[in-house]
Amino acid sequence: MARISRREAIAVAGGLAGSALIGDVAKAAESVERWGLHEIALEGPKEGNPFADIEVSARFTQGRTAIETPGFYDGDGVYRVRFSPPDTGEWRWTTQSNAPLMNGREGRFTVTAPSNGNHGPVSVVGYHFAHADGTPFRQIGTTSYGWTHQPEAMRRLTLETMRRAPFNKMRMAVFPNASLKTNVGPLPFARTGEADRDWDASRFDPAFFQRLEASVAALGALGVQADVILFHPYDGKYGFDEMSAAVDEAYLRYVVARLAAYRNVWWSLANEFDILKTKTEADWDRLFQIVREADPYGRPRSIHNWRTLYDNGKPWVTHSSIQNGSAVLDDARAETYRSVWKKAVIFDEVCYEGSLNERWGDLTGPEMVRAFWHGLIAGTYVGHSECLPTEPGGGFWLGEGGELRGESAPRLAFLKSIMEAGPTPGIEPIDKWWEQHLGGVPGRYYLRYFGDEAPTEWAVDLPRDDLTGGERFKVDLIDTWNMTIEPVPGEFVMRQKPNTRYFFSDPERPTIALPARQWMAVRVTRVENG
């Protein structure tokens, strides 16, 4: 799968491969594909504290377009500026730095057409998502908070699992989860001793970030968006949850300078932000704006709640990233979050498929899949994860990655195929607030999901919007668990239904039979020229 450029692939597969990028100092590649990663490496000062003392950036220009791009210190006297060109053709660059050696350097390079499979970065389009080339992005997310902090063999296993899984977004934390005993490797900051809190808040450890960005690049090579969680409350050990405002800001600027040019990066300001008692909503406002200001590309930005919702109506929130398992038990609940904030919604945490004696980690496979279907009908998106240890106290996908052991993933691949065969950019709720439980496009496409009900028939009543009578439709029965699609023979020709002004129906075939099983759906599709 050639979804990422050769240069990006250098940093692939979870190895500490970042150093492979260091080489042609003060040179850069002569060409890069559109939305690829163009890197300028520069020699600069090693003495003092380069993280704090030295600033470097570059201005990339093409015609009237100019993009100011912050650089970063990568250790060993090497500074880098990374750029992801938004358009093809020739680009020029000039550096600025308070280190004279790195100031006023210039160069140019050619941006070629994107390679096969490179659709560009994802952004929010109304209530949905799409790549820069217009390809819809049908979000089927998963979460493995700590996969990048695990031993290399485990990281490789995670990537191999992702290669075979349906997931196209991975939520992952920058900071290690202090509760995991399996973490290895450096900390984000330079160590000053062996104790957990022996680190220097004024110096980053490039090796930590090289591993992180190699992980991001490896996901990119698989076509997976990396939803990078910038803060989380699962600490109490290292103290990354209680840094000063100045250190928080320096950290954000460093992460953004290193990662923003990877086209598969999204920013999640925090996981369960409201557990992080060291920060107020005003702090989150400020941190959001630092990220927005530092990121030249406007990668998607969200913040993930525990019990209290951040005001997702604020302008720096591109989409909602909600924890609420009950919301996706019912499309009408899920839809509410769209209507109030008028933004795309991802229910990134809806409890997990698992065997824990915790109610957030004990969903059955069918329950995990159900959440995705209700969310889909509502015009929203959902996230998966698994808590299935092989032995009590053992690790699982949510924390460390590795392998998937649950039943939901194959059914989510099936769901994804239904989404990909459906309308673009996505499903809209139809005749919402009137108990239709229909998503799709009025007049063209209708999807009804029955969840844990097991009806024996369904009235093919289509809400009147965009129907005038005479339209022809075909109907498919979808078993979302057994992953079958069974066409209902013949066509349905719509007429105004008697005694109501709200529905159209085929008077010859007002209902269809259903098999009295759970997890069924019905798809009603307009016949071409119908």
Kindly tell me which of 33 and 428 has the beta carbon lying closer to a copy of itself: 428
Rounded Cα gap, residues 385 and 162, in angstroms? 12
Residue 394 to residues 68, 159, 181, 386, 389, Cα–Cα distance (Å)? 46, 20, 10, 13, 5
By CB under 8 A, name the one of 49, 135, 278, 326 that touches a copy of itself. Answer: 326
Q: Which stretch binds a copy of itself (CB under 8 A): 224-232, 252-260, 326-334, 394-402?
A: 326-334
Question: How far is 146 from 376, CA to CA, in rounded Å?
Answer: 28
Among 67, 309, 485, 512, binds a copy of itself (CB under 8 A): 309
- Residue 140's H or E segment, with its range, is strand 140-143
Cα–Cα distances (Å) from 342 to 76, 127, 144, 440, in that order, read: 47, 7, 28, 18
Q: Any contact of residue 496 with a copy of itself (CB under 8 A)?
A: no
Q: For residue 303, which of 409, 295, 292 has the smallest C-alpha distance?
A: 292
Q: Whole-angstrom distance between the N-terminal and C-terminal Cα of the chain?
A: 38
Question: Per-residue DSSP letters for 224-282?
Answer: -EEEEEEE-S--SSS-GGG--HHHHHHHHHHHHHHHTTSTTEEEEEESSGGG-TT--HH
Return the residue of 64, 181, 277, 359 that touches a copy of itself, per CB under 8 A: 359
Minimum CB distance to a copy of itself smaller for 283 or for 330: 330
Quick check: 275 binds a copy of itself (CB under 8 A)? no
Residue 327 as a binder of a copy of itself (CB under 8 A): the answer is yes
Q: Which is nearer to a copy of itself, 116 or 499 (CB)?
A: 499
Q: Minimum CB separation from a copy of itself for residue 330, in Å?
A: 7
Out of 435, 489, 508, 528, point to the residue binding a copy of itself (CB under 8 A): 435
Q: For strand 353-354 and strand 386-387, is the pairing parallel, antiparallel, or unpaired? A: parallel
Pairwise CA distance, residues 462 & 82, whole Å: 51
| Interacting span for a copy of itself (CB under 8 A) from 10-18, 70-78, 148-156, 322-330 | 322-330
**Residue closer to a copy of itself, measured from CB, 332 or 483:** 332
Q: Which of residues 499-518 bind a copy of itself (CB under 8 A)?
A: 499-500, 502
Among residues 218 and 327, whose Cβ is nearest to a copy of itself? 327
Q: Which stretch binds a copy of itself (CB under 8 A): 5-13, 36-44, 428-436, 465-473?
A: 428-436
Sign of the four-CA dihedral 91, 94, 95, 100: positive
Q: Tell me: does residue 316 bind a copy of itself (CB under 8 A).
A: no
Which of residues 59 and 314 has its CB atom nearest to a copy of itself in the complex? 314
- Which residue of 182, 289, 339, 518 would you call a contact of a copy of itself, by CB under 8 A? 339
Distance CA 146, CA 125 (A): 30
Spell out the residues 6+ positions from residue 18 whose beta carbon is closer than 8 angstroms to its own: 11, 74, 206, 207, 209, 210, 211, 213, 214
Out of 76, 87, 293, 311, the only residue in the binding site for a copy of itself (CB under 8 A) is 311
Using the rule CB under 8 A, which residue among 25, 332, 483, 512 binds a copy of itself?
332
Task: Enumerate binding residues for a copy of itself (CB under 8 A).
Answer: 307-309, 311-313, 324-327, 329-330, 332-333, 336-337, 339-342, 357, 359, 432-435, 499-500, 502
